[in-house]
Structure 1
Amino acid sequence: MLIQLLLASSTVLLVALLGGFLLMLARPWLSWMVPVLIGLAIGVLLGSAWLHLIPEALESASSSVFIMLMVLLGFLLFHLLEQGLHWHHHHVPDGDARLAQYAKMNLVGDGLHNAVDGVLIAASFMVDPALGWATTLAVVWHELPKEISDVAVLMHGGASLKRAIVLNTLCSLPVFAGALLLYALGQWLVLPLSALLAITAGGFSYIALIDLYPLLKSDVKRTSWLQQAALFCGLGLMLSFLLLEGH
């Protein structure tokens, strides 16, 4: 089972690389695509949080109030984390390679999300390998549009395309940590999956609404209407995944 678990986790990592590869193919159009993909990122983050993570957390929890408190906790934790990054930014000399804070926050949220995905994949494999592969397919199904938009957020935040792909791929590595942690400790440790899902949803909501949405409001270029369309497209993608899964 361990080999299958590692293969499934590697599939998630490959999706992150695929998202970067697709943007490399579109390099000639990146100057106008990246602002539009910011809108897609907002839609994907909000759709992932409110159409997938929160409902899934509610299904496995005994108290809806507890789950919503965890969502609020995730939102506030990311606020405190951003304040810490802001303090660090003012106490370290500036450099050309410095990323914008919203790009750093998206990295943190993506890493946490991938760790939770690893836990979910491992939990499914421990029940039944077929269920494990079905869960992996569902994770990959959701991840591709998100990985593309994550690379775009990093580029908008000051990273080159190559650096954005590397950073985004590195943020996929926690999927191995989450999967192996549950595999190693699953016999003795019960991880609060519903709470982790809800906290991740709160973090995604913070990044989408506080960090990324103001970028749309401040953009007065001709691409602004495309950004709004991309936002609703991102929401539509997450909703279509939900409907295709039969929930």
Structure 2
Amino acid sequence: QCFSSVELFAIHNLSEGSAVGHSEFKEFCPTILQQLESGACASENLENEENEQTEESRPSSAEVWGFGFLSVSMINVASLLGVFIVPCTEKAFFRRVLTFFIALSIGTLLSNALFQLIPEAFGFNPQEDYYVSKSAVVFGGFYLFFFTEKVLKMLLKQKDQVRLSRGCSERCSGGMQQEQQGWLTPVNPPVPQHHHGHSHYGPEALPSKKDQEEGASQSACYWLKEVRYSDIGTLAWMITLSDGLHNFIDGLAIGASFTVSVFQGISTSVAILCEEFPHELGTQGQELTAGSWCALFFNFISACCCYVGLAFGVVAGSHFSANWIFALAGGMFLYIALADMFPEMNEVSREDEQNGSTLITFAIQNAGLLTGFTIMVLLTMYSGQIQI
């Protein structure tokens, strides 16, 4: 413990106004030597110097608001581009491009949470605490199970296809033998007869194949065909509210990050940008069913929530500890990456996998995941050397 001058005087039963002579100074000497040898005051002075350097390295209010507003605006403009890309959704290459961007968002969000947000919430410094390698192992555990699961599914799928092809060939050969021997059964099942001997089901009473297909499509794709305008408005508002809350937390994380350092804010903004672009493609595709102007209106409302979150994040990070906001944002990033974007990536790539492009889809997913991981690792490792 580093004693102050008042505490030193009190230890030797002296008041603050007491005169210190030769005899009193001799009594002080052992205590002063103990303080010098223990290094208690030196460590406290070093901590004070580090705090002063941290305060000096913090960006000014103008930089925080300027960079924060610019980052949020760039993210909103990038998400707005989804409105103009929606007409390209019918192209053959669109699903593969979207798969890459979704995988990229998973890699950046997960890596940003593991390498920056969660360690920052615990007060770790990547240049001093050397946690980057352990965070990389955490990501490696996720990637190992992802890689193993995909490889096993591809191998089992090929095995099932071989088994089905053999069974089909056996059934086809058996069917040809039955046809040659005249063992053909009627295709249409008999119409049920009433006990009086006549049928209560006329040809017009039985549902046709066309009616069955229309009924199935209407029940399965209710939001895609023959939707009332009021239902479209309700769906769009529900999407806007959930997306607005999502954008509010994004803005909160960006604002708090810029109060710590400009570099931290840019890293968080890059992760959110990689996540917002593929996410907005899905929501705007449903909002566009209400009309292009309505889609722009709903997107504008959602974007305003991001600016509101930015303001709250800057105020909270400037006057309170930003670690709590980083903890909240880290948990949100983990949820979005693993519980939201990961199933969406599997859903988007399912059609390509069914068409026999499993290996190409797997390569695209790996490229996106590893690209996002590499970006965040480089930003974290060289954060001290990058000057902005």
**TM-score of the superposition, structure 2-length normalised?**
0.42
* Uncovered stretches (5+) of structure 1, i.e. residues with no partner: 62-93, 125-131
> Which of 323, 331, 354 is residue 202 of structure 1 equivalent to?
331
Matches of 1:117 and 1:110, distance apart in 2? 10
Q: Which residue of structure 1 lines up, in the alignment, with residue 372 of structure 2?
A: 234
What is the CA–CA distance in structure 2 between the aligned matches of 1:153 and 1:44, rounded to whole Å? 19
**How many Å separate the matches in 1 of 2:331 and 2:314?**
22
Cα distance, 1:208 vs. partner?
1.7
Give 1:104 shift.
Answer: 6.8
CA distance in 1, matches of 2:333, 2:71: 19
Query: Deviation per CA, 1:147-171, whole angstroms, max 9, x where unpaired?
Result: 4244235347x34485585365234
CA distance 1:136–1:116, change in 2 (3 Å): closer
Please tell me whether Structure 1 or Structure 2 has the larger radius of gyration of its CA atoms: 2
Aligned partner (choices 153, 156, 178) of residue 313 of structure 2: 178
RMSD: 3.8
Report the alpha carbon displacement of residue 20 of structure 1 after superposing the two structures with TM: 2.8
- Which has the larger share of helix? 1
- Contact 1:16-1:172 at 8 Å conserved across structures: no
Task: Give the Cα–Cα distance (whole angstroms) in 2 for the partners of residues 147 and 178 of structure 1.
Answer: 19
Query: Could you tell me whether the CA contact under 8 Å between 1:16 and 1:144 is conserved in 2?
Result: yes
Contact 1:106 1:150 in 2 (8 A): no
Q: Distance in 1 between matches of 2:284 and 2:64?
A: 32
CA contact (8 A) 1:109 1:204 kept: no
Work out the CA distance in 2 between the residues paired with 1:104 and 1:232: 32
Alpha carbons of structure 1 residues 241 and 52: separation in structure 2 relative to 1, 3 Å: same
Alpha-carbon distance in structure 2 between the residues aligned to 1:102 and 1:38: 19
Residue identity opposite 1:108 in structure 2: L
Match of 2:232 in 1: 96
- Partners of 1:50 and 1:100 in 2: CA distance: 33
The AA in structure 2 aligned to 1:37 is F
Aligned counterpart, 2:351: 221
For residues 101-180 of structure 1, what are the structure 2 equivalents within 5 Å?
Answer: 108-122=245-259, 124=260, 133=262, 136-152=265-281, 154-155=283-284, 158-160=286-288, 162-163=295-296, 165-166=299-300, 169-173=303-307, 174-180=309-315
TM-score (norm 1): 0.61
| 1:16 maps to 2:75 | yes
Aligned-pair identity (%): 17
Structure 2 stretches lacking a partner, 5+ long = 1-59, 126-229, 354-360
- Verify the 8 A CA contact 2:252 2:314 in the aligned structure 1: yes
Alpha-carbon shift at residue 175 of structure 1 (Å): 0.5
Quote the offset at 1:10 in angstroms: 1.6
Larger relative contact order (CA 8 Å, sep ≥ 6): 1
Question: Retained in 2: the 8 A contact 1:41–1:153?
Answer: no
Q: Using the alignment, how far apart are the partners of 2:114 and 2:326 within structure 1? A: 11
Q: Is the 8 A contact 1:118 1:178 kept in 2?
A: yes
Deviation at 1:16, TM superposition (A): 1.4
Contact kept? 2:72, 2:251, Cα under 8 Å: no
CA distance in 2: counterparts of 1:43 and 1:102, whole angstroms: 24
Q: Which residue of 2 aligns with 1:37?
A: 101
Q: CA–CA distance in 1 between the matches of 2:100 and 2:240?
A: 16
